[in-house]
Amino acid sequence: MDAIPHTRAAGPSASRSGPASRLRDGHSPDLAADPAILVAGLGKRFGTVVAVDEVSFAVPRGSVTGLLGGNGAGKTTTLSMMLGLLLPSAGRIEILGTDMLRDRHRVLPWMNFSSPYVDLPHRLTVRQNLTIYAELYSVPKPRARIDDLARELDFAALLGRPFGKLSAGQKTRVSLAKALINRPMALLLDEPTASLDPDTAEWVRDWLLRYRRETGATILLASHNMTEVERICDHVLMMRQGRIVDEGAPQGLIAKYGRQTMEEVFLDIARRQGRAAESGGDGAGGDAA
């Protein structure tokens, strides 16, 4: 695998507020000076549907950043463009200082992702599935890497079982192992604890925090679980109708909105934006009540 390059501290011209614009006027150097992921004017249309509406944001290097929003807000579409699975209609994406759209082949070895919506071949065993991914990423000593992940994520007993015969929670843990097989420096997770029982979900969260601490990796996760977001995210991007409508640290947002929890902040933003849309405004900007 290529060495991770040092991200240059240059920012794109961003049209909306957020770290990308603060980068230009230099007010939040700690947050924005050296982002792991920089998105500028990113848009995606599916025919007449605007799934992502020219968003600009930065994901701080080494952070756990949450991408939040209601159903259909544009989270999965945004993650898919970052992974090169969907071509944007507009904008640019820089990952670890490299242009994703121009230099995809350089960027992809540094990244990985997991999603409950992406299945692995059902008839292959767990080990066969993970071996394919280990080979795709040219992982050295793939057997040992798979054994380590299976032990760490507690599915060693499942390695010989066909993937299709696993329970939903077992599949989630194997998908997480698939996402970690190449020791990614940028890890994109869609609902990482979906289908996990509360105890296993908490254990996976601890595991992700340890992975971040030990490797310095950046984790961007889409989640509907606000308790999870409060527990592990340093930074949050709130999406609605394809736009970033607010962002900040969970505790900062809770204070800004005068609420007790991220769940309440989420509802506040969702309802405020709903009212703004009904009255003809776009509701963006995230001013607290």
Ligand X SMILES: Nc1ncnc2c1ncn2[C@@H]1O[C@H](COP(=O)(O)OP(=O)(O)OP(=O)(O)O)[C@@H](O)[C@H]1O
**At closest approach, how far in Å is the CB of 24 from ligand X?**
28
Q: Is residue 46 involved in binding ligand X (CB under 6 A)?
A: yes
Q: What six digits make up the tokens of 89?
A: 């209609």
Q: Which is nearer to ligand X, 76 or 131 (CB)?
A: 76
The dihedral built from the CA positions of residue 78, 180, 232 and 227, taken in this order, carries a sign that is positive
Find the part of the chain contacting ligand X (CB under 6 A) among 43-51, 210-218, 243-251, 273-281: 43-51
Q: Coil, strand or helix: which one is 216?
A: coil
Q: Which of 39, 73, 100, 233 lies at the binding interface for ligand X (CB under 6 A)?
A: 73
**At closest approach, how far in Å is the CB of 74 from ligand X?**
4
Find the part of the chain contacting ligand X (CB under 6 A) among 44-52, 101-109, 244-252, 273-281: 44-52
Q: Which of 21, 77, 129, 172 lies at the binding interface for ligand X (CB under 6 A)?
A: 77
The dihedral built from the CA positions of residue 140, 144, 146 and 151, taken in this order, carries a sign that is negative
Q: Is residue 51 involved in binding ligand X (CB under 6 A)?
A: yes
**HEC secondary structure over 65-121:** EEEEECCCCCHHHHHHHHCCCCCCCEEEEEECCEECCCCHHHHHHHEEEECCCCCCC
- For residue 287, the Cα-to-chain-centroid distance in whole angstroms is 25
Find the part of the chain contacting ligand X (CB under 6 A) among 16-24, 71-79, 139-147, 266-274: 71-79
Q: Is residue 116 involved in binding ligand X (CB under 6 A)?
A: no
**At closest approach, how far in Å is the CB of 50 from ligand X?**
8
Q: Is residue 71 involved in binding ligand X (CB under 6 A)?
A: yes
Q: Which of 74, 184, 192, 248 lies at the binding interface for ligand X (CB under 6 A)?
A: 74
- For residue 194, the Cα-to-chain-centroid distance in whole angstroms is 14
CA distances from 179 to 49, 133, 225 (A): 30, 9, 20
Binding site for ligand X (CB under 6 A): 46, 49, 51, 69, 71-77
